[in-house]
Structure 1
């Protein structure tokens, strides 16, 4: 019975924690973002900012809320 439980845990880890397998070579460069994706990214960066709460958790809030609450935005490279 213990053997079956180990398999179930391994199956769960593989399916839900690790996600699907990648078939690409790990050192291959990814594709470049197209124009629509770049526009969406710049719009998101202009509307939202990353902040850190007292426990150290990093999350996104809209800029107006961050300014209203006095939250200190994080650098984009710091996440």
Structure 2
């Protein structure tokens, strides 16, 4: 099985979100990271997250959606970004 990385970029409120999903690994599991960038005047504030997954994800599209949702929750102040609650 070929392992690759899929990236997806989007905007939310005053931030940009970049999600990268890697996989599948030898067990068919996907994982990933996300980066939020907020424009703060003349500079950008980047925050990168590599969260733990509550449940292993075997679907690439679901992994992208879960990480994008988590990134939005971080921007909204609802999450610290350390765990994907996909269970």
TM-score range, shorter chain: under 0.3
> TM-score scaled by structure 1?
0.24
Higher RCO, Cα 8 Å, sep 6+: 2
| Larger helix percent | 1
Higher-Rg member (1/2): 1
> TM-score scaled by structure 2?
0.23
| Larger strand percent | 2
